[in-house]
A and B are shown apart, each in its own frame.
Chain A
Amino acid sequence: EPEVTQTPSHQVTQMGQEVILRCVPISNHLYFYWYRQILGQKVEFLVSFYNNEISEKSEIFDDQFSVERPDGSNFTLKIRSTKLEDSAMYFCASRGGLRQPQHFGDGTRLSIL
């Protein structure tokens, strides 16, 4: 069964450094999402992406964040200058249509030191 894959599974980075989280959505899916989950808290929406552009972003998704779909298969989340509070599990999701469920990757655990 097709699945969403995320790399790396765990990323440890010094505060202020840039990180890129990578995702390969399920092929033929059209809608792409990033969420994050701080330990012990709810899963939070970050950004949605459709038709090669951001369709919505949350308040969390400030100028330090960006997303790209550079080659038609990868979907990346970049954090330019990481902060301690960026430490969280980051999930990528994709869906084939609006009446279909979102399928999630296993997540990238980001630890900022």
Chain B
Amino acid sequence: QKEVEQNSGPLSVPEGAIASLNCTYSDRGSQSFFWYRQYSGKSPELIMFIYSNGDKEDGRFTAQLNKASQYVSLLIRDSQPSDSATYLCAVNTGRRALTFGSGTRLQVQP
């Protein structure tokens, strides 16, 4: 079992729709959770982090964490073509470096 699992996609949504990206992790002791966005040919950039159960909103982005279910999600409201990218879930599993999932590729259709 991978430590951080994501559906590779692609996830295709129409412009203006809500995109829902999911991530599960295996280490129950994980404390902090991150979503990075990676455009094709570019390096990852942080868009959200969450430490506590519940929802955290930042503009069009909402991160959701459920530690009991070991589940993290990212919702993107009013999706735009510029949101088309690979979204990487990263988890602090107790080691000193983040563990990344393989990413979900999002395509927003104009």
A and B interact physically: no
